[in-house]
Amino acid sequence: MKRSLDLVLACIGLGLFGPVIGALAIAIRLEDGGPVFFRQQRVGRDRRPFTVLKLRSMRDGRVTRVGRWIRGTGLDETTQFLCVLRGDMSVVGPRPLTAEDLARLGWDSSAMDWRFRVAPGITGLAQLFAVPGAASSLRMDRAYVRDSSAWLDLQLVAASFACNVLGKRRVKDWLRRHAYAGLADGGIDGAGAHRR
């Protein structure tokens, strides 16, 4: 069921964002002549490595002008729909991390195997609701793995689309004011969907 939903959402996402990705690719190339895409190896489901694909937002360790805008809207991540079609990612799931990040956080032990039972996602509870710090992200990942459903996925996709259109900061602030409080006791109250 989840894989079927992923394929449908990825095709819709590429249909919607395809022209935007094309325009942004031209803007990135025109700004500094560098490569359009950023590729990096991440750790996926069952700890299998895969290559994530994003629109490039940095050059020589600094965020570019185009990069600042695409990061602020999350449009740099829309190319990850291709990773979903390949089967490396899901539309919704825990954030995909590098092996180095997992080691730094201490998340590379067998005690964390539960986190790798699902495919990493373009968006997810942690990406939308976590406050700074590994503990918050881990709590959100655990809640998602424990309670994932098609209905929760659709709500998180809708919230992520709002981020693309209105900007991450504005939408995340609204979500935290209206929905985040429910996560403190295990649920998202704002949209009424996610509960223990």
Containing 43, the helix (H) or strand (E) segment is strand 37-43
Higher pLDDT, 166 or 40: 40
pLDDT of residue 179: 61
pLDDT on residue 46: 96
Domain boundaries, the chain: 2-185
Alpha-carbon distance 162 to 87, whole Å? 25
Model confidence at 108: pLDDT above 60: yes
Partnered with residue 14 across adjacent β-strands are none
Tokens 């730094």 appear where?
104
> What percentage of the chain reaches a pLDDT higher than 90?
67
Question: What is the SS3 string spanning 84-103?
Answer: HHHCCCEEECCCCECHHHHH
Each residue of 137-174: pLDDT tens digit?
999 999 999 988 999 899 889 888 888 887 777 877 77
Average pLDDT on 108-115 reads 94
Beta bridge partners of 40: 52
Q: Could you give the angle at the alpha carbon of 69 between the alpha carbons of 67 and 71, nearest 5°?
A: 65
Q: What is the mean pLDDT of the chain?
A: 87
